[in-house]
Amino acid sequence: MTVQDFITLLNSRRLDEIIQEYPISRDFLANFRLGTISRRLPLPQALEEVDDETLGEFGLDRYGVLINFSEFLETFTQTKDSSAAVSFLTIIGGFNKSNEPENIELTIASGEIISIVGPTGSGKSRLLSDIECLAQGDTPTGRQILVNGTELDDLQRFEMNGKLVAQLSQNMNFVMDLTVREFLEMHAKSRLTQSAGEVVKKCLMCANTLAGEKFSEDIKVTQLSGGQSRALMIADTAYMSNSPIVLIDEIENAGIDRRQAVELLAKSEKIIFVSTHDPLLALSADKRIVIKNGGISKVIEISDAERQSLEVIEKIDSTLLILRNRLRTGEMITEESLKIYMEDKLCGKYMML
Ligand SMILES: Nc1ncnc2c1ncn2[C@@H]1O[C@H](COP(=O)(O)OP(=O)(O)O)[C@@H](O)[C@H]1O
Ligand SMILES: [Mg+2]
């Protein structure tokens, strides 16, 4: 069901029928203080009876409530079987910005992590968008994306829209007055039949491990910082989302533990694309795509030799992290204090280069 389907449904069916079919609707209505509106009418008619002030409190008009409700239902009623639907994905090359052919056919199996590197403006986000919309030669790049080796017709593309791909910042478009715990519980309730409590606990722990600044489960979702809500979304995607493909666009500055985030997602047998300028992330992948002038110029399998250098990069990275924290807390960074953190010879050697 797409957002559009839900809009149609909400326009045509009585609220009590909607609630019976999608019990999670109760949470939405209660959240917008609409728990007492008439359920014998379809939503638009029921909303006629609500005064403007009550609605205005959430910055929404009646149409806004309809759209929010539809987005909410779309997010919280995703079916479970979509993850089984993708075992591999193929990118068939198109053209770079100078209209030269990419001459490439790259197949990626579920469980693989692909990093995407290249200068700013080279086309990393464009590649992610091509995957998101399952391009069929109809984007500026002319690329084609096949699912399990087959081309998709318009209807299949439309049906898969929103189900196949989780993009980490997307799922929270609707205005919600929920705490972190309530948000996760609601998600769990709509997605899982068993051990929802357990999963919520794991998600909370994981989101807090990923986030630079810790947060309590009682804080409102809308009050989270950028990094915190990214961390929450990553945990949510890893533990609850059914989307078989995850796209991550430059998370390095989001204030979260990037490496851990990718490792966590990697366990989930999804296909993960991560665009990045960060060596730590780039080398944590299985392959990396190099983008130049809008085209895929190279695909590099991460070798053992490269992977071995991860250890050094990690040490450099954690040293920088310590320095960043010292800066934040108002401490001085002197040569003396640097030495303390670079005592480790390996790390020290590389830091001096
Ligand atoms: N192969 C291509 N053909 C035409 N335009 C492209 C191509 N690749 C990228 N672009 C365009 O170039 C611009 C910069 O790309 P973008 O993906 O935002 O770069 P990055 O994410 O690497 O900074 C965008 O407007 C994008 O649509
Ligand atoms: Mg970009």
Residue 229 resides in a domain: no
Q: Over the stretch 273-304, which tens digit does the pLDDT of each residue have?
A: 989 888 888 998 999 999 999 999 999 999 99
Q: Which ligand is nearest to the CA of 291?
A: 1
Which of 1 and 136 is assigned the larger pLDDT? 136
Q: Residue 295 CA: which ligand 1 atom is closest?
A: 1
Last residue of some domain: 50, 77, 104?
77
Is the pLDDT reported for residue 41 higher than 80? yes
The answer to whether the beta carbons of residues 34 and 69 sit under 8 Å apart is no
Residue 345 reports pLDDT greater than 90: no
**Domain boundary at 43, 77, 111, which?**
77
- List Cβ neighbours of 334 (8 Å cut-off, separation of 6 or more): none
Pocket lined around ligand 1, Cβ cut-off 6 Å: 95-97, 118, 120-126, 140-141, 294-295
Query: What's the total number of domains in the chain?
Result: 2
Q: What is the domain extent for residue 348?
A: 306-352
Whether 153 is in a domain gets the answer no
Q: Of 23, 44, 77, which one is at a domain's C-terminal end?
A: 77
Alpha carbons 69 and 65: distance in angstroms, whole number: 6
- Give the Å distance between the CA of 282 and the centre of ligand 1: 20
Q: Is the residue at 326 inside a domain?
A: yes
Q: How many CB atoms lie within 10 A of CB 263?
A: 13
The verdict on residue 340 lying in a domain is yes
**Helices then strands (H, E): number in the chain?**
16, 9
- Is 281 part of a structural domain of the chain? no
The verdict on pTM exceeding 0.95 is no
Is 149 within the bounds of a domain? no
Model pLDDT, residue 186: 81
Convert the pLDDT of each residue in 253-278 to its tens digit.
666 777 777 777 777 778 889 898 88
Q: What DSSP state is assigned to residue 293?
A: T
Rounded distance from Cα 118 to ligand 2 centre (Å): 10
pLDDT tens for 109-167 read 988 999 999 999 999 999 999 998 889 999 999 999 999 998 888 877 776 666 677 66
Greater confidence, 137 or 31? Answer: 137
Ligand 1 atom 7: the closest Cα is on which residue? 294
Strand order in the sheet with 144-147: 105-109, 88-92, 144-147
